[in-house]
């Protein structure tokens, strides 16, 4: 399995608007993407998180290249700050486990 965790922290009112405009289409597409096993959204400490688990990295990369995801990622610098982290695992992580990995290993975009 492949796990991907993203955290975005909008830094202004305009950033909030951009966040919703860009992430809603990408989120809907992720929920229906081929190979997705889990797709959750949560907010914590001012960050809006996406937590997805995929059958393999191949399926995640196919989604990552979709137009809605590319558009959302290109817009992130205009929204605010954030970090991403992805990793392979043999067991389905809990939300807390995935968020801990993101906190420890996430890279800024």
How does DSSP classify residue 83? E
Cα angle 61, 67, 59; round to 5: 20
Question: pLDDT tens digits for 32-61?
Answer: 999 999 999 999 999 999 999 999 999 999
**Domain count of the fold of the chain:** 1
What range does the domain containing 21 cover? Answer: 2-108
Nearest Cα to 59, choosing from 37, 28, 85?
37
The CB-based long-range contact list for 37-45 (8 Å cut-off, 24+ gap) reads 37/1, 37/92, 38/92, 40/95, 42/95, 44/99
> What average pLDDT does the segment 2-16 reach?
94
Question: pLDDT tens digits for 60-91?
Answer: 999 999 998 898 888 888 899 999 999 999 99
Structure pTM?
Answer: 0.90
Domain with residue 14: its CATH number is: 3.30.70.100
Cα gap 36→46, rounded to integer Å? 26
> What average pLDDT does the segment 8-25 reach?
91
């Amino acid at each position: 399995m492949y796990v991907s965790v993203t955290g975005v922290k909008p830094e202004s009112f305009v950033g909030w608007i951009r966040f919703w405009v860009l992430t809603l289409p990408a989120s809907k597409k992720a929920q229906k993407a081929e190979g997705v096993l889990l797709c959750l959204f949560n907010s914590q400490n001012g960050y809006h998180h996406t937590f997805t688990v995929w059958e393999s990295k191949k399926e995640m990369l196919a989604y990552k290249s979709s137009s809605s995801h590319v558009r959302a990622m290109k817009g992130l610098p205009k929204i605010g700050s954030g970090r991403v982290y992805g990793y392979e695992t043999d067991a389905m992580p809990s939300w807390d486990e995935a968020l801990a990995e993101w906190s420890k290993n996430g890279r800024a975009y």
